Structure 1
Amino acid sequence: MEAYIGRQPIFDELEQVYAYELLYRHNEKNYFEMPDADVATYDVIAKTFVSFGVDELSQGRPCFINFTENLLMSPIFEQLSAQLVVVELLEDIVITVDIIERVQELKGLGYRIALDDFLLNDDLLESEIFKYVDIIKVDFLLASEEERLKIEYLVRSYYPHITLLAEKVETVEEYTWARRHGYKLFQGYFFKRPQIIVTQEIPANILQYYRVIALLRETDPDINDLAETIECDMSLSYKLLKLINSSPKRRLNKVRSIKEAIISLGLRDLQQWLHILTYREMRDTKVSGRMEEVMRTSLIRAKMCESLARYNGGKLHSEYFLIGMFSLIDVILGRPLHQILEQLPLSEGVVATLNGEATPLQPYLQLVISLENMEIERIRQFAQQIEVPASAILRMHYEANKWAKQVH
């Protein structure tokens, strides 16, 4: 399943990339085609922090993201990075006292504020918000030269802390005019069209999202129940690990289980991200038969590896679950395994095993793979190595298939 996002560079006076604006895209067509701005913003945020990874998209530079009034007033900013996200207020937001107070609050959290497609008017509240604005974007297709001159005079005379950004600059004449009149940042087709960036995503099981949300709404959510429910869904498990890597509260220690991942992210943050992801995923997703089979195989491997470890009294049986779960992640995402593992906060033992190195976990995964391929001699070899009888292996395989069918 492919995921798309648009990324257009914003240049400084030296024509170096200063930042990127991230744009909603639903396919390879390079234009906006979603009437619901809330959905578009949720989609951009989910893709930035989960599908692609904010580090990969931003390359260490600020990212401009459009925010509607609904999203501006929401608690979503607790999950974002003030260092990387520039809050771009859409032009249709009506400036009110509540909006000004919210912008002031976000400034206090370290966010930079940009006004999109700005045009002058006589609203006194609009002038009040200028105290907290860092960047004003002026649309060179929309604003006349007279309007642009008025904006430049206002900023130069009364708000010198504000940086002017010329957007939709399409000719060398417009670029030269903007530089001559105090603009410091530039964006438009004259420099570069938005680039469509594509990645592969694991298809989501929306019902599983709702099951986790229901568990989180309980008075005292059970971490073990949450972990077991998330483990039933490969998409959720993968996204949870990606979130930990993208979170401003990123941990130094690697996780060895989904339970550890939940504790690391925190129940409140998990609940907020699930709402973001659910809002975004509430559309029909077509999943190929091949992808369904690969995901089902991953679940069977995960359950089998965990069951084998439990049989042997393994204390870290959740690590065994993870090596099975992510043993086909490169096939699902269509990317080199080492690149994927670099973006997941997995323990060294899990990473080494998935990379094919000899580890204490490796025989368990190899036994399960040999069982899939009906390689009798290799099954015997690995069964003897981990000291599990054939009768127990067959029973576990039956139970793993049954479990995978129930949850997927």
Structure 2
Amino acid sequence: MSESSSATGRPPAIAAQGVAGQGVRQPALAGQPYVYLGRQPILDRSGALTAYELLFRSGADNSADILDDRLATAQVMTRTMGQLGVPAALGRHYGYVNVSRELLFDDTIHLLPPGRFVLEVLEHVQFDEAVSARIALLRRDGYRIALDDVSAMTDNLVKALPCADIVKIDFLQTVRDTLPELVATIRAAGKTLIAEKVETREDFEFARSLGFDLFQGYFFARPEVLSVPSVRPSRIALVRLLALVASDVGVAELERELRGHPGVVVQLLRLVNSSAYAPARPISSLREAVLAAGTRQIARWAQLLLYASGRDLPWGSDPLVQLAGTRSHFMELAARSLYPNDPDFADAAFMTGIFSLVHVLVGSSPAHTLERLGLAPAISRAVDGHEGELGTLLRVALSVERGDHGAAQAIATEAGGAFAALTPQLVGELNLWAGAWFSVCADN
């Protein structure tokens, strides 16, 4: 996370003033819950504002208190896209968002319009073959990739450079004598260079002399804190919305459902007006929002809200959320392996994984939950009776979760047909990939 080291020392809250795009901060009222978002300017060589890095903030005191990188970024996304809105948070500028390895692979990353956001890959992400391939896909979709907190030419940086567009060099951590060679090497690779954690005029002048393109740090501005009244949508409402999307209902039915949940509607309207999918004029009606977003974007948003809210536990520490997320993504990846050209089947497999545990997430019985959701028949039969191909995939997932890979292989062999593709080696690889999304942090 690209802040100066003293950021953890809880500097005083900075009022939003004096920079383009500001004026959205509101004073907190006693007894009224607010959510907070930090942003720190990124400037060019002339001192003009070009972008903001968006930062998780746990309160108005400008502190982060991050225990889980994935949860922090999920909350930055929901607060930026659904509560503040991109125009209020960024104005006309780009936004840099910290991304962990898990979120790189999560489908909800596509909620960030590539024309407005740069994905800032955290320094501890190891660039193996899987990460490099995933980033290549994201860059093909139009995202720019920044490498965060670089301080030396490590083996990991050598692997990462071909995947990146921007490199942020940490002025506090880099040995001063090694800076010229480090900068020259990265510039020779054709990357945009950002000097981050620049805290003095001497640092700034030195960075300019080395040829840095952009600058960020306390010398220019500490992170400012934006706030907005908290809107916490009902988990039942989000689950019901996911169920309707899974059932492939029409726009009218989605609109009827959303009208009963104003908190979700407010966030959906902000999402669509903030996204790359909005028309030239702002969307003002619910029907326009549903049509503009499309069901896949709505599903991504509901998933993000569902898991970012959690059950009053950090995202990575909630065992039910972790299990539901891992199971659903394992099933989605397995479905793609079975039928690479059938994205609808992969979506249905993901939804089956989600709804196989949703009764626990919302505190109800399986039969009562399924009855109220009105799911597509194939998903209901898979969840309730393990029927059909989706049911077979669910049985495979359950066996893998128990560590019984022999049973998983026996189920795939008995099913035959496309399921022959689920070899023990592939199942093991898919399980590792799926676990990356919602695995529990080692320090939690």
| Bin for the TM-score computed over the shorter chain | 0.5 to 0.7
What is the CA-CA distance between 1:91 and the residue it aligns to?
0.2
1:116 is aligned, of 143, 148, 162, to 148
* Deviation of the 1:121 alpha carbon: 4.5
Q: Secondary structure at the match of 1:196?
A: strand
1:176 aligns with 2:208: no
Per the alignment, residue 134 of structure 1 pairs with 165
Contact 1:166-1:187 within 8 A present in 2 as well? yes
Gaps of 5+ in 1: 286-408
Match of 2:100 in 1: 68
Q: Which amino acid aligns with 1:109?
A: D
Give the match for residue 316 of structure 1.
Answer: none
Name the residue aligned to 2:305.
Answer: 277
Say if 1:119 and 1:147, in contact at 8 Å, map to a contact too.
no
Look up the equivalent residue of 1:197 and give its one-letter code: L
Alpha carbons of structure 1 residues 283 and 196: separation in structure 2 relative to 1, 3 Å: farther
CA distance in 2, matches of 1:73, 1:9: 27
* Secondary structure of 1:214's aligned partner: helix
Aligned to 2:269, what secondary structure does the other structure show? helix
Summarize deviations over 1:204-241 as a string: whole Å, max 9, x none: 222211222233233x3354443332211110121222
Give the superposition deviation at 1:150: 3.0
Aligned to 1:189: 218
Look up the equivalent residue of 1:75 and give its one-letter code: D
Tell me how far apart the structure 2 counterparts of residues 255 and 107 of structure 1 sit (CA, whole Å). 28
- Contact 2:146–2:168, Cα closer than 8 Å, also in 1: yes
Equivalent runs, 1:370-381 vs 2, <5 Å: none
Per-residue deviation, residues 64-95 of structure 1 (Å, max 9, x unmatched)? 10001111112234322112101100001001
- Residue 97 of structure 1, CA deviation: 1.4
Measured in 2, the distance between the counterparts of 1:101 and 1:200 equals 39
**Match of residue 14 from structure 1:** 46
Count of matched residue pairs: 281
Q: Which has the larger radius of gyration?
A: 1
User: 2:255 is paired with a residue of what secondary structure?
Assistant: helix
Q: Which residue of 1 aligns with 2:17?
A: none
Letter in 1 for 2:293: L
* 2:71 is equivalent to residue 42 of structure 1: no
- The structural deviation recorded for 1:34 is 2.0
Taking the aligned partners of 2:167 and 2:279, their CA distance within structure 1 comes to: 35
User: What residue in structure 2 maps to residue 97 of structure 1?
Assistant: 129
Q: How far apart are residue 38 of structure 1 and its match?
A: 0.4
Q: How does 1:281-292 map to 2 (within 5 A)?
A: 281-282=309-310, 284=312
Match of 1:144 in 2: 175
In the alignment, is the contact (CA less than 8 A) between 2:273 and 2:282 conserved in 1? no
Deviation at residue 128 of structure 1 after TM alignment? 4.2
Instruction: Write the mapping of 1:161-310 to structure 2, written as runs, cut at 5 A.
Output: 161-218=190-247, 220-221=248-249, 223-251=251-279, 258-282=286-310, 284=312
- Label 1:255 to 1:247 Cα distance change in 2 as closer, same or farther (>3 A): closer
> How far apart, CA to CA, are the structure 2 residues paired with 1:255 and 1:19?
25
Q: Is the 8 A contact 1:79 1:248 kept in 2?
A: no
* Aligned pairs for 1:361-376 within 5 A: none
- Partner amino acid, structure 2, of 1:35: L
- How far is the alpha carbon of 1:22 from its aligned partner? 0.3
Cα separation, partners in 2 of 1:154 and 1:284, compared to 1, 3 Å: same
Instruction: Provide the rounded CA distance (Å) in 2 between the counterparts of 1:139 and 1:253.
Output: 40
Correspondence list, 1:321-340, <5 A: none
One-letter code aligned to 2:208: R
Aligned equivalents of 2:114, 2:186: Cα separation in 1: 24
Distance in 2 of aligned mates of 1:179 and 1:253: 40
For the residues of structure 1 that align with 2:124 and 2:231, how far apart are their CA atoms? 35
What are the superposed Cα offsets for residues 368-406 of structure 1, whole Å, 9 maximum, x if unpaired?
xxxxxxxxxxxxxxxxxxxxxxxxxxxxxxxxxxxxxxx
Cα shift at 1:165? 1.1
CA displacement 1:2-47 (0-9 Å, x = unmatched): 1210010011110111211000012112121121100111111111
Residues 183-219 of structure 1 show CA distances to partners (whole Å, capped at 9, x for unaligned) of 121111111100001122434222211222233233x
User: What is the deviation of 1:122?
Assistant: 4.7
Listed one character per residue, the Cα deviations across residues 232-282 of structure 1 (whole Å, up to 9, x for unaligned) are: 111012122222211211135776853453233211111001111122222
The letter of the residue matching 2:309 is E
Going from structure 1 to structure 2, the CA distance change for 1:16 and 1:215 (only over 3 Å counts) comes to same
Task: Compute the displacement of 1:284 (Å).
Answer: 4.8
Check the 8 A contact 1:46/1:276 in 2, yes or no. yes
CA distance in structure 1 between the aligned counterparts of 2:312 and 2:72, rounded to whole angstroms:
16
Distance 1:40 1:73 in 2: 16
Quick check: 2:272–2:283 contact (8 Å CA) kept in 1? no
CA distance in 2, matches of 1:242, 1:230: 14
- The CA distance in 2 between the partners of 1:170 and 1:253, in whole Å, is 41
After TM superposition, the score normalised by the length of structure 2 is 0.59
